[in-house]
Structure 1
């Protein structure tokens, strides 16, 4: 946890402790002894109630998660935003200091830039139906995250000649090279001299890339998550559990 997030930085906004620390056991033990005066499980309670109800303000420990056994979760609930006491962008910005420093160095080198997050590998999954045809949970995603379609999609948001930072889990070398016909492309791999001394795992790399994405003049997500977001695809991010035929043409007809 400490290698990803700056707990002291987070604690300036909301006091934070790890669930395996000595302080945690002291707080939990004291809260359990105080019973109703020490702890409350408030899943589903909105932020207004938490702020205005004096009962909550005097408690030692508040568990906001769905399960009384779960003590940590990233601050997000897209179905009930009133239940979020902190903005969705809070936790991503609380990366460990060495990760924030690395991201700042790269952002300075990038200068004035735009960015896209292209999520492919883990989302582009197909399975055969009983007739042997491919089916996908995100029928347009493979098409919408290919370079030729990205060029068409982002031209209204990103002018030609701009520096475009790309963060992606696509593993094919040179996959995004066609975008260089219009943009100056940049990847985290271009900054290995900054990242190699810092990065120990892919989680840390993602944290840095996320900070770089957040610092772009225009940030284009793979999926639209908020009302003001712009995205590469109109497919919903949430798993609809509906397997559909993949679409590969602009007109929407399937290309075989």
Structure 2
């Protein structure tokens, strides 16, 4: 049985530096057994309905601008798998989950490859990416996570995004933003206590909107929460970068 992870991936160029979070996430990954494959959700792949990435995918998407030239030259060997993709589709449809292959999605967004390259220097297992459906409620995302439990004997489910993501407050020079700090601590408390009611209601709070002008970086946390057998998660990385970008990351059983 493999754990479920929620990883805050930070800015794309985190992989070029030598930050605490980059090094700590790599050290943490070394403590984990290698699964047969990984199922991953990224904040940067949203669709109306649930999609699964083209099973011929093996390229990287450089879906950002204004960063160092070296970041656009970064290479990382990664690929999907037809048989596993079709198995996931078959099982989800048994639960009346509408899912289709996204034939147009033929590369992995930076939320995927920055996260995985921080964890693993090299990967030789399939990476199956599913989208985050924009029409799903938080409750429906939790339910999706619950259904995906049946894959945990062979797969590690990784959800990547950010506990905070207000880029308008990001700064190399300012101290940690107060709203980011308070919100981050609140989420740690919620996850430590497996407080599903508070996790669901947080989306309506003013503090959430101060840290998430749009919600996409937070929503995969609901999938990870649903995928856990014991809803009490444990933080394995704690840092706020650029004043307002939390790198808080959790492991669930």
| Coarse TM-score class (shorter-chain normalised) | under 0.3
| Higher relative contact order, chain-length normalized (CA < 8 Å, sep 6+) | 2
Taking structure 1 as the reference length, the TM-score comes to 0.26
Taking structure 2 as the reference length, the TM-score comes to 0.26
- From the CA coordinates, give the structure whose radius of gyration is larger: 1
Q: Which has the higher strand share?
A: 2
